A and B are shown apart, each in its own frame.
Chain A
Amino acid sequence: AQSVTQLGSHVSVSEGALVLLRCNYSSSVPPYLFWYVQYPNQGLQLLLKYTSAATLVKGINGFEAEFKKSETSFHLTKPSAHMSDAAEYFCAVSDSGGKLIFGQGTELSVKP
């Protein structure tokens, strides 16, 4: 069975600082992994996804994530945080039927 763990329910960074949101997965098959972002009072929007091609995946708004099989990780990074990045971020893994299994979510705060 697949599962996802996001380390840290709240992360706070200063504007311009590196953003690092952690995601570890467990999967009995080669994983397909997703990062979604949820802005306040909105639905989820896809940031990026890993589908077994390049291990470094670039997404929207300057975010990227690296798939590391040896560490079972898919951490999300952005070199320089912007105030508009404040949101909740979800990591998810897709199971054999195409259903998504989500992590608990990480709320990112950006301080001026």
Chain B
Amino acid sequence: NAGVTQTPKFQVLKTGQSMTLQCAQDMNHEYMSWYRQDPGMGLRLIHYSVGAGITDQGEVPNGYNVSRSTTEDFPLRLLSAAPSQTSVYFCASTAGRRRGDTQYFGPGTRLTVL
């Protein structure tokens, strides 16, 4: 199993540009989520999905869209990039929504918005 994969690894955007960060998992996990990591702030939840066709907002959803058309894929869209979205983005998946379930993380996408 490849686990959780993310593309691209690095990306530089100009303010106002749009892009999609890709995330895929091959573990047939029901639950997927997106986090952003900023220095001194840990990881903060952007959006999450409890299954295909079902998404919801996390702690910092503004400026981001998601959709979940398949179990495997959970892309994150930036519609109009802003410098405040410069961050490292992690996708994670877990088999279920029980509180003790382990979340498995992808390698991350490092995004810079100029």
Contacts and interface: CB of A to CB of B under 8 A. Distances in A.
Interface of A: 4, 6, 9, 32, 34, 36, 41-46, 49, 51-52, 90, 92, 94-105
A104 B108 contact: no
Q: Which of under 10, 10 to 19, 20 to 34, or 35 or more describes the interface residues of B?
A: 20 to 34
A95 B90 contact: no
A49 B99 contact: no
B96 interface: yes
B42 A94 contact: no
Contacts of A90: 42-43
A97 B45 CA distance: 13
Contacts of A45: 105
Interface string B28-45: 000101010000111111
